[in-house]
Amino acid sequence: MMTIDELNRKFGAPGRIVFHLGHCGYPEVVLTNKYGVAEVALMGANTLSYRPTGHSPVIFRPAKRDYNRGQSFHGGIPVCWPQFGKLAIPGMAQHGFARVMPFEVRGTQYSEEMTEITLGLRSDDETKKLYPYDFDLEVKVSVSMKLNLTMTTKNTGTEAFEFTGGFHPYFLIRERDDVVVKGLADVPYVYAEDMTNHVQVGDLAMTTSTDHVFSLPEAPKHEFAILDPGLKRALAMASTGHASAIVWNPGPGDILPDFQPDDWRKFVCVEPVTSWPKALQSLKPGETHELACAIQSTADGLPEEA
């Protein structure tokens, strides 16, 4: 892994793209421009924070501030790959291994309107002990008028493989019980705790613990909004390349090691996932798949169409 000085010399730009030491000494990068600032960890390609100019922070980050290679982190926007959850690939750790491995920097760029970093993870002897396929996983994060994330999976081997991939954004809110998620009315879902089937009636009010896996209708783009009266804002997400969306909040009964006792009140996860629970996304040799989402914060009402 390159040193901080080497990263800043090769990929940095003063005032726009700056690398520094983060969790357990692994590099992190700050992306800045007139529209906002985001911080991305090279460990797991996790977008740890995002704050649009003139707005409060968008991403929840738990009290646990340090994590090492191989350790999960419940906050930011983790990258879940080659499976989301734990049911798709027998024996695979929950949410796969990409989120607990260091990514390499493949490039950075900036303009008056955008600041971007491209990170990558390739198959090697270590990954093949977990997942016996040749792959290339690339994650792009950019700050423009929105926070933009893209995950591209490429089959670089000689045999087909199946996977599920997803972004797992923890959206910062004032009080969970007051929040409503829009964009899922009349959509069927499975409640993951007991695998029962339901259909969402109206907007989703986040008044209880939630682990809903929605099967989305075919569409070129999916749009969701989190209405937060406590912070007087709406968070919108437009996404492509996925057939499922998970809405999750554990409630007070499932306090993860990263969390303080009341942290469950401070976030809602709305997660674009290629498919769930089975690994239905198949790639033949040479094929690629792209999952993308754009996140926008608007005060006092719904955002414009993303």
Task: Determine the structural domain holding residue 10 and report its residue range.
Answer: 4-299
Name the pTM for this structure: 0.94
Return the bridge partners of 172, or none.
Answer: 267
Q: At a CB cut-off of 8 Å and minimum separation 6, what does 292 contact?
A: 148, 149, 150, 151, 239, 240, 241
76 within a domain of the structure (yes/no): yes
For residue 224, how many other CB atoms are within 10 A of its CB? 22
244 within a domain of the structure (yes/no): yes
**CB 235 within 8 Å of CB 228:** yes
The amino acid present at 246, given as its one-letter code, is I
305 within a domain of the structure (yes/no): no
Band of residue 305 on the pLDDT scale cut at 50, 70, 90: very low
22 within a domain of the structure (yes/no): yes
Band of residue 257 on the pLDDT scale cut at 50, 70, 90: confident
Lowest mean per-residue pLDDT among 33-37, 72-76, 197-201, 265-269: 72-76
Band of residue 194 on the pLDDT scale cut at 50, 70, 90: confident
| 3-class secondary-structure state, position 25 | helix
CATH code where residue 54 lies: 2.70.98.10
Lowest mean per-residue pLDDT among 15-24, 69-78, 124-133, 195-204: 69-78
In this prediction, residue 72 carries a pLDDT of 75
237 within a domain of the structure (yes/no): yes
Band of residue 300 on the pLDDT scale cut at 50, 70, 90: low
The amino acid present at 194, given as its one-letter code, is D
Lowest mean per-residue pLDDT among 87-96, 121-130, 222-231: 87-96
48 within a domain of the structure (yes/no): yes
Segment 217-242 shows an average pLDDT of 96
65 or 172: which carries more pLDDT confidence? 172
30 within a domain of the structure (yes/no): yes
Segment 62-90 shows an average pLDDT of 82
Instruction: State the total domains in the chain.
Output: 1
Band of residue 302 on the pLDDT scale cut at 50, 70, 90: low
For residue 32, how many other CB atoms are within 10 A of its CB? 18
Long-range CB pairs of 228-232 (<8 Å, 24+ gap) are: 228/173, 228/174, 228/178, 228/179, 229/174, 229/178, 229/179, 230/173, 230/174, 230/175, 230/178, 230/179, 231/56, 231/172, 231/173, 231/174, 232/299, 232/300
306 within a domain of the structure (yes/no): no
Q: Distance between CA 237 and CA 147 in Å, rounded?
A: 9
In this prediction, residue 193 carries a pLDDT of 82
Q: Residue 217 corresponds to which tokens in the numbers above?
A: 């209708």
